[in-house]
Structure 1
Amino acid sequence: MSHNKTVLICDDSRLVHRAIQKFFGEFIDVTLYFADNGKQALDCLAENDIDVMFLDLTMPVLDGFGVLQQLPVNQYPTRTIVLSADVQQQAIERCVDAGANYFLAKPFSKQQLSATLKKLGVVLNNKEQPVSLAVDQNSNKTPDESDYLYQFKEVANIALGKGAAIISDHCGEFITMPLPNVAMLGAGDLEMMISNQIQRPDSTPIAQRFVGGGIHGEALVCLYGQDITLFGNRLGFSTFNGKHSEVMTDIANLMVSSFLVSLSEQMNIPFSIRQPICLEEYMVRGCSETANNDLFTIEYSYQSENLDMACDVLFMMENESTRVIKRFMETLS
C-alpha cells in the first residue's frame, strides 16, 4: 500500500494508545484514529477508510467480540489485529473465526508490531516529518505518567488474562473476564465490600495470604454457583472423604496462584502463598476496624461461560507493598 496509511487504535487503555502512537511516530504518512470502546470504533470505521485496526477484546460499552460480529460496516478492506490480555486459546480461535487477521497478546513489543504489520503486507516509510494525528476526543483524559494506579491496572489486566488462560486450559471452559479494578480503599469501604461478598447466601468465602519481594497481602475469594463441584472435577480436584470444602479451597488456590504467577513474571518477584482457608462471618467481622490506613486493592472476577460457577477475587496489600509497586511502575515509565 503506497497511499497514506490510516490506523484505528480501539482500546480503553490510554497506555496502549500512547505505546502504539509512539510506534507509528517513527513513520511518515500515517494517520491515527482513537477509540475507547467498540461503539466508537464502529462509528469510526463507518466514516473513514481504515487500513489497520488494533482491537482490544475487553472494553466497556461494546467489547472486541461485539465489534468483530458487526463487521464489516463499509466496503473498505480493513485489516484487524486483535490486541488482548485474554490469551485463552478459545478466545484466539473465536477472534480468527470472526474474521480477525491476527492475534497479538499483551504485553507486546515494537518488534512484534513490526513483524505483524509486515505479515499483513502493510509497508511503512521511515519518517522525515511528524506523524499525522486525527482528533482524539479523549486526549485530555490521558492520565499522568505518575498515576501508578492507572498503569498497574494494565499490568493486572495482563495477569488476569494469563490466569484465565491457565484455568481455561485446565478445565476446557471459556472464562469471561471483565477489566480488573485497581484502587486504594479505606477501612470502611473494604469492610462493606467484604461484608457484601460474605453475606451472599450462595457464596463461599476463602482467604489466602501471600508474600514476595516486600509485598504482603491477603486474597479473598468468593465462589458461588451450582456447578462448583463439577468445575472442580474438570480441574482435577475431587472431594476427599466427602469434604466439599477441599474442592472449594483447591479452586480458590488456583484462582489466586494463576494470577500471582503472571504478576510474578511481569514484576520479577517470586511470590509464596499460604494454605487457603474457608472463612465464617465471625472470622472477618470487624477485621478492618484495626486498619488505620488505606489498602492497595485489586478486584476482579472470573465466570465460566457454560457452567453455573463464578468467583470474585479481592487482593488487599499493605502500605509497604504500595511503595514496592510504585517503584516497579517507575521502571516502566
Structure 2
Amino acid sequence: MSYNKTVLICDDSRLVHRAMQKFFGDYEGVTLFFAENGQQALDVLAQNNIDVMFLDLTMPVLDGFGVLQRLPVNHHPTKIIVLSADVQQQAIERCVDAGANYFLAKPFSRPQIEATLIKMGISLIPKNNTPIEGIKPKRKVFARENDYLYQFKEVANIALGRGAAIISDHSGEFITMPLPNVAMLGCGELEMMISNQIQRADSTAIAQRFVGGGIHGEALVCLYGQDISTFGKRLGFSTFDDKQSEVIIDIANLMVSSFLVSLTEQMNIPFSIRQPICLEEYMVRGITEIANGELFTIEYSYQSEKMDMACDVLLMMDHNSTQVIRRFMETLQ
C-alpha cells in the first residue's frame, strides 16, 4: 500500500500556503502543489493526479464555486476539502451539492486538518524528527515593513465571511462578497473615494464611529439598490411613517456590527459602536482630517445575490489604532 500523496492548496492567501506547507512538511511522501486562483487549480488538476485539494471560495480570476462547477477535468478521484471564510449555510450547502467532500471554516487548526484527513481515509506517515525539549523557536520578524497589512487582510477576510453568514441567516439571502482590501491611505485619497461614493445618485451614505481596546475608528457605509426596503423587511426592520432612512440606518448598523463582532472574537477586543448618522458631503472633510496624513483602512462590500441591494463599507482608523493592530499581528508570528 502506497502512502505517497499529492495535495493541491488552492488559495490566494500566502498565509494559508505557508501554514499548509508547514503542516504537510511533517509527513513523508507528500507532494504539494499550489494555486493562487481557481484557474490555476484547474490547470494543475488537468496535468497531475491530485489526491486531495484544499479549495478556497473567495479568490480572484475564478472562485471556488467556479472550480467545483468545472470539475472533473481528469479521471483521477480527487477529494475536495473546502477551506473558506465564507461560512454562510447556503455556501456550505452549495459546496456539498457541487461535490465537495468536507467544508472547514477559517481559521483552521492542525487537529481539524488531521481529523478531516482521517475521516477521508487518507493516511500520512510522520517524519522522525521530534523537536528538542526546552528549546523555543526564534520569534519571526516581518520580512517587509507592511507585511502586517497583508496578514491582517486574512483576519478581515474571516470577519467578512462571518459577517456575511450573520446577514444571510437573518435575511435568507445568499450574500456575495469579494476579498476585503486592507491598506494605509492618505487624506487626499480617502476624501476623493468618499466624495465619489456620496455623489452617487442612487446611494445613501451612513457614518458610524466605533471604539475598543485602543482602536478608534469611523465606518462609512454606502447602500444602493431598489430593494433596500424589501431587504430591510427580510431582516426584520420596519419603517415608521414610511421613512426609508430608518431602515437604511438599521441595515448599515448591521453591516458594521456583524463585521466587528468577528474582529472581537479574533482579537479579543470588545468594540462598542455609536448610533449611525446619515452623511452629507460637507461632513467628509471632518472625517478625513488627521494629524499624520494616513489612516488604516479596511474596505469591503456585500451584495445580495437575487435582490437589487448592495453596500460598500469603509472602516478608517487612526495612527494609534494602527499600532494596536500591528502589535496584534506580531503576536500571531
State the TM bucket, normalised to the shorter chain: over 0.9
Q: Relative to 1, partners in 2 of residues 1:158 and 1:188: Cα closer, same or farther, differing over 3 Å? A: same
Q: Please state how far the C-alpha of 1:3 moved relative to its aligned partner.
A: 3.7
Q: 5 Å matches for 1:96-135?
A: 96-128=96-128
**In the alignment, structure 1 residue 75 sits paired with structure 2 residue 75:** yes
**Aligned positions of 1:1-333 closer than 5 A:** 2-128=2-128, 144=144, 147-285=147-285, 287-289=287-289, 291-333=291-333
SS where residue 230 of structure 1 aligns? helix
Local SS of the residue matching 1:206: strand
From the superposition, tell whether residues 275 and 179 of structure 1 become closer, same or farther in structure 2 (CA, over 3 Å).
Answer: same
Counterpart code for 1:161: G
Aligned-pair CA distance for 1:221: 0.1
Unaligned runs of 5+ in 1: 130-141
Residue aligned with 1:242, SS:
coil
Q: CA RMSD in A?
A: 1.5
AA in 2 matched with 1:109: S
Task: Output the amino acid matched with 1:318.
Answer: D
Residues 291 and 203 of structure 1: CA distance in aligned 2, closer, same or farther (over 3 Å) = farther
Structure 1 154/110 Cα, relative in aligned 2: closer, same or farther at 3 Å? same
- Whole-Å Cα distance in 2 between the matches of residues 26 and 243 of structure 1? 60
> Are the equivalent residues in 2 in contact too, given 1:28–1:128 (CA < 8 A)?
no
Q: Kindly state the Cα deviation for residue 186 of structure 1 after the two structures are TM-superposed.
A: 0.2
Q: When the two structures are superposed, what TM-score results if normalisation uses the length of structure 2?
A: 0.94
Instruction: Name the amino acid aligned to 2:309.
Output: M
- Report the 3-state secondary structure (helix = DSSP H, G, I; strand = E; otherwise coil) of the residue aligned with 1:123: coil
Check whether the contact 1:143–1:150 (CA below 8 A) recurs between aligned residues.
Answer: no
> What displacement does 1:146 show?
6.6
The structural deviation recorded for 1:72 is 0.4
Structure 1 position 143, deviation (Å): 6.5
**Structure 1 residue 31, shift from structure 2 partner:** 0.4
Secondary structure of residue in 2 paired with 1:178: coil
Letter in 2 for 1:310: A
Superposed displacement of residue 241, structure 1: 2.2
In structure 2, C-alpha distance between the alignment counterparts of 1:119 and 1:325, rounded to whole Å: 37
Question: What secondary structure does 2:320 align onto?
Answer: helix
CA contact (8 A) 1:156 1:263 kept: yes
Q: C-alpha separation between the residues in 2 aligned to 1:151 and 1:240?
A: 43
Does the 8 A contact of 1:217 with 1:318 survive in 2? yes
**In structure 1, what is the Cα distance between the partners aligned to 2:179 and 2:86?**
10
SS in 1 for 2:205: strand
The 1:289–1:325 alpha-carbon spacing in structure 2 relative to 1, beyond 3 Å, is closer
1:287 Cα deviation after fit: 4.5
Q: What's the CA shift for 1:108? A: 0.2
In structure 2, what is the Cα distance between the partners aligned to 1:287 and 1:179? 25
- The alpha carbon displacement at 1:281 in A equals 1.5
Q: Distance in 1 between matches of 2:121 and 2:146?
A: 37
Count of residues in Structure 1 that have an aligned counterpart in Structure 2: 321
Q: Which residue of 2 aligns with 1:132?
A: none
Where 2:86 maps in the other structure, the secondary structure is coil
**What corresponds to 2:136 in structure 1?**
none
Q: Contact between 1:14 and 1:143, CA under 8 Å: does it hold in 2?
A: no
The answer to whether the 8 A contact 2:3-2:125 is kept is: no
